[in-house]
Amino acid sequence: MTKTIDTDICIIGGGSAGLSVAAGAVQMGARVVLIEKGRMGGDCLNTGCVPSKALLAAAHHAHAISRSAEFGIHASPPNIDFAGVMAHVRDVIAGIAPHDSVERFERLGCSVITDHARFTGPGELVAGGQTVRARRFVIATGSRAAVPPIPGLDDVNYLTNETVFEHTTCPDHLIIIGAGPIGVEMAQAHRRLGARVTIIEQGSILPKDDPDLVAVARHALEEDGISLYENAMAKHVEPHGNGCRMTMTHKGADLTLDGSHLLIATGRHANIDDMGLDLAGVECANGAISVDARLRTSNKKIFAIGDVTGGLQFTHMAAYDAGIVIRNALFRLPAKINHSAVPWVTYIAPEIAQVGLTEQAARTLHGNDIRVVTWEYAENDRARAERQTKGLIKVITTPSGRILGAGIAGHQAGELIGLWSLAISRKLKIGAIAGHIAPYPTLGEISKRVAGAWYTPSLFSKKTRKIVRLLLRLG
C-alpha cells in the first residue's frame, strides 16, 4: 500500500530557494514536506556559487603573490598544487553542507523525502513510494547547464559547472564557450592557477552589464593572458589526442583551436522534466514554469521560485522569492515581486557589480532625460594604498536626482553595490548618498564622491559664484 502524507506545504527541490521556504515555514508552525532527489544544497552549494568562489579565492591568492613586488615584497612565483586547490574547494563545501543537510531539516521538523517527485493531479504528487497531498506546493527544482547544439560535441568529454570542479589536474589549455559570469569567472580562475585559457563568445562578454564596466573586465582578462574571441561562433568540435579540436568562425574566417579541456558555459535550462506538470495544471513557456507577480503558477495552489521560473538566476533571488511565497502561502498576504533593486556581481578581479538600470536601459525608458555621473577608482586613496586603482563607478539618475541604476567595476564592487541597492529600493535621491559620512580611507568613499560629483555642475557654476560673492559683500 502506498503511504499518504497530508501536509501544509510540500516543497520540491532542496536548493537555495526550496531550503529557504522550508526553514521559514516549519519554524513558523507549518507542516512541511521537503523532496530532493539529488544533493541537498542544490547547484549553489555543490556546483555553483560556493565552489566557484572558493576556486576564485585560491586564484586571487596566487595572483597576489605574483604581484607582491609592487609592495616591495619579493617572492618566488607561486608553486600551485592544483589538487590541493580542489581539496580547498571541497573543504569549503563540506563546511557549509551541514547547514543544508537532511539531518538539519529533519531536526527543524521537516519530513524529507530523497527521491524524484511527480505530480499525479492538481493537489497531489508521488515521491519515494509515497503520495503527498498538500494545501500548497512550491516547485524549486532549479536549473542545469544548457548545452548548445554544436556538431561533434557529443563525441568529446566536455565540462560544465557540474563537472569542472571534479578534476584535480590543471588543464593545459582550457577552451570555454560562453562569456557570461560563469564563463569569465572560470576563465580567470584557471588562468591564474596556471592554465592557458581561450574564451569563445558569440556576442560581447558579460552582455547584461553596462559596456563601460565590461570594458574594465575585458582589459583585466586580456591582461591576465586570456585569449578572447568575441562575436565568434563555434562551428564544430571533435576529439584530438587527449583533448579536443574546436573550429570556429571569427571575423569572417574559420579558425581552429586545440585544447586539453572544453567547458560549456552558455546558460541554463530549468529542471522541469518528468514532473507531471500537465497533470497538475501547471503551464510552462520558453522551457520554464510561468508564474504571476505573486509567484503562483496557473494552478494557484502551486508556486514556483528560483531558476525554474526562467527569471533572474541568482541565489539571493532564490531567498527573496522564498520570502514572497511565505507571505502568500502562510499569511495570505498578496505580496508581489519587485525586481527594480536586484543587484548582481561577477566575481572576477576587478569585480563587476550592477543594480537597477544600465545607462542603455535607462535611455530606452527615459530617452535623454537622464543624468550619468562617474568616478574613477584612481581618485580613491584607499584604492591607491592597495594598488587597486583600476575601475570606476557609474550612476544613472533622473534630472531630479532619483537613482535609476548604478554599476561598479573595481575592487570589492560586490560589497559596495549594496548601498545603491538599498537606495533604489527605498527610492532615495542622490543627495542621500552625497550627504552620508563615509570613513576615511575606505573604498566606500567612492560612492560618496560619485554622488557629490552629481552636484558639481551646479555647485561650481557661474551662478553659484555670483551668489557667494553677493553674500560675502553683505558681511
Q: C-alpha 164: how far from its chain's center?
A: 18
Inside any domain, residue 453: yes
d(Cα 103, Cα 342) in Å, to the nearest integer?
32
Inside any domain, residue 308: yes
Q: Are residues 417 and 379 in the same domain?
A: yes
Q: pLDDT tens digits for 403-449?
A: 999 999 999 999 999 999 999 999 999 999 999 999 999 999 999 99
- Sheet with strand 371-376: strands edge to edge: 343-346, 351-356, 403-410, 392-397, 371-376
Inside any domain, residue 432: yes
Q: Structural domain tally of the chain?
A: 3
Triad 225, 230, 231: Cα angle to 5°? 165
**313 has pLDDT over 90:** no
Confidence category of residue 373, pLDDT binned at 50, 70, 90: very high
Supply the pLDDT for residue 73: 96
Domain span including residue 19: 3-40+101-145+269-329
Residues of the chain with pLDDT > 70: what percent? 100
Supply the pLDDT for residue 312: 87
In this structure, what are the phi and psi dihedrals at residue 209, rounded to the nearest 5 degrees?
A: -100, 160
Inside any domain, residue 354: yes
Q: Are residues 170 and 218 in the same domain?
A: yes
End-of-domain residue from the set 213, 235, 266: 266
Q: pLDDT tens digits for 53-74?
A: 999 999 999 999 999 999 999 9
Inside any domain, residue 76: no
End-of-domain residue from the set 266, 289, 310: 266
CATH number at residue 319: 3.50.50.60
Q: pLDDT tens digits for 166-204?
A: 999 999 999 999 999 999 999 999 999 999 999 999 999
Average pLDDT, stretch 305-334? 94
Inside any domain, residue 256: yes
Average pLDDT, stretch 277-296? 97
d(Cα 374, Cα 446) in Å, to the nearest integer?
10
Confidence category of residue 338, pLDDT binned at 50, 70, 90: very high
Inside any domain, residue 122: yes
Q: Are residues 250 and 283 in the same domain?
A: no
Supply the pLDDT for residue 1: 55
Would you give the DSSP letter of residue 76?
P
Q: pLDDT tens digits for 128-149?
A: 999 999 999 999 999 999 999 9
Q: Are residues 126 and 163 in the same domain?
A: no
Element (H, E) at 21: helix 16-27
> 159: closest CA among 122, 131, 133, 187?
187
Averaged pLDDT of the chain: 96
Q: Are residues 320 and 407 in the same domain?
A: no
Q: Are residues 352 and 387 in the same domain?
A: yes
Q: Per the structure block, which three cell numbers stand in for 264?
A: 560549456
**272 has pLDDT over 60:** yes
